[in-house]
Structure 1
């Protein structure tokens, strides 16, 4: 849910093309013709539309103008560390799906969306950090965030549903005898780590939480029989360290990752993981961009959110 920081009142909702069309008594297509000085509209109607534009302080987005010329659409894609295959896989998926829709994609490093203002028609961000709003320079720039740590009013967002898959993973580990689970997490405790701790707690087990980069030498005194890595890359590291120390997987220790990287199929043993369909994530983000380009609905935030679930893939590491 969107929230307003304590002590601050939400500002007025920005005017949309729907508001202008309603005020002028015309269709959205007529508003588009008027603000883009296109033919097919009589002068009196154009004047009425432009008067409504001024009265409502409506700012047509670049994306809205790009709908007239599909070849001119440009999407700004802001991603985290591309050396992590997770972000690289999503980037490849977005590039493929955006190209199929006739869009050009510009990639940028994490930072303020303001850096992209004026050069793109919409922004999709997946960085693990909250994107800063575009500011007054682009009040109608559609921005969609993927799995952000907090919600920005007016931004679309893709939420990941991990609870069902986490419960499935914990049930799987319990059925295989797990009694001393260890969860490797960020020092600030991520949502994925908390979800695993809660799921183990539901089953009557108290999971020990340690830093995500803790080496096996420091984990061994805890005598874990299951390790939940922060992500698949962490899971691959644990598999390598366990093999180097002669620890049998899954005989002595079971290992679970999070992300569902395709390369997990090619390590030995194959890594069990919480996977997500990146194509579904990319499609949902692009659909939200289109929805936002027409202006968010007034009936609540549900139209700004899409939920994509994880699923548990049981492989040889558990």
Structure 2
């Protein structure tokens, strides 16, 4: 037992031990139950904190523990978008190879994600994916829980995460488009007006380096309907456009549909390019040219970073904690 500031007694919880030992609740469980997956030093620190606080886990809680079991929480934002099922499939497959199970969390917006993550916190050993919550909030609500962001930002925000490197692939794409005679390209970006995704910035800059100006239209979304609506606007206001670069493959599918309805030939009149390299790009006509990601590589890196954080072999902010995956140009019929 320990005392609060008001002087009343309360039972010491697993959260107290996690806070003192600077680890996750799941790591406390592993240490208290002599489970594999954590370093000796981490285990000793947890047991020391438990002794200091007088923590004794319930027999019921201990009976729920499986010594051979790890659970990974995968956070995504829209299962309707084929990108996320492809990512989820790759994560599940690689996690299974490592002996992990996966809990899938599909949420929209920070508020819903906050509620769902707090509810599942005791069920997972690590979180990976697209998290809307910032690092400080996660550190408070789930101290010590390994978090691995996919398409990670700067190291302060994402000390552990898989980074995407668009530059080389976009450079190859730009040279390919210019080589086939493109001179009036347009970028359809998912960002709100006045903001630019890194994809849009890279495409505009590399085109500008080659003397070609690229108008950017902001859709405020990255779904099929955004691609349709914005492509209709492109053709209405810039009818001589000869290439459309889309934020992702889904908006590119919308561009293909709009151009077909408007009677524009692809790629004869307008080339269309997406980004992500979804398998669905081979199901449309014409097949979609795209800057593709190796989802298997992304999943393997993310899962292995989470495992490395748990066993202490990977330090936050290190090169091993922030690997890069490059997009590669896959040329198909649309360009």
Tell me, in whole angstroms, the C-alpha distance in 1 between the residues paired with 2:329 and 2:170.
7
- Pairs within 5 Å for 1:210-229: 210-212=217-219, 213=226, 214-220=229-235, 221-222=237-238, 223-229=240-246
Going from structure 1 to structure 2, the CA distance change for 1:50 and 1:307 (only over 3 Å counts) comes to: closer
Please say if 1:140 is aligned against 2:144: yes
Q: Unpaired segments of 5 or more residues in structure 1?
A: 1-13, 18-31, 40-45, 59-64
- In 2, are the aligned partners of 1:181 and 1:207 still within 8 Å (CA)? yes
- Say whether the 8 Å CA contact 2:148–2:158 is kept in structure 1: no
Q: TM-score, with normalisation over the residues of structure 1?
A: 0.77
* Contact 2:74-2:127 at 8 Å conserved across structures: yes
Change in CA separation of 1:165 and 1:16 when aligned onto 2, cut-off 3 Å: same
1:150 positional shift: 4.9
The change in CA–CA distance for 1:172 and 1:135 in structure 2 (over 3 A counts) is same
Report the Cα distance in structure 2 between the residues aligned to 1:154 and 1:277, rounded to whole angstroms.
21
Determine helix, strand or coil for the equivalent of 1:118. Answer: helix
Q: Could you say what secondary structure the match of 1:117 adopts?
A: helix
Q: Does 1:245 align with 2:262?
A: yes
Taking the aligned partners of 2:309 and 2:103, their CA distance within structure 1 comes to 19
Q: Which residue of 2 aligns with 1:76?
A: 73
Partner residue of 1:199 out of 206, 211, 217: 206
Counterpart-to-counterpart distance in 2, 1:169 and 1:200: 10
Higher alpha-carbon deviation: 186-195 or 163-172: 186-195
Could you say if the C-alpha distance between residues 247 and 298 of structure 1 is closer, same or farther in structure 2, counting changes exceeding 3 Å?
A: closer
The separation in 1 between residues aligned to 2:301 and 2:71, in whole angstroms, is: 17
Farther-moved stretch of structure 1 (118-127 vs 149-158) = 149-158
Deviates more, 1:252-261 or 1:111-120: 111-120
Cα distance in 1 between the residues matched to 2:232 and 2:215? 16
Match of 1:190 in 2: 197
Question: What's the counterpart of residue 54 of structure 1?
Answer: 49
TM-score (norm: length of structure 2): 0.73
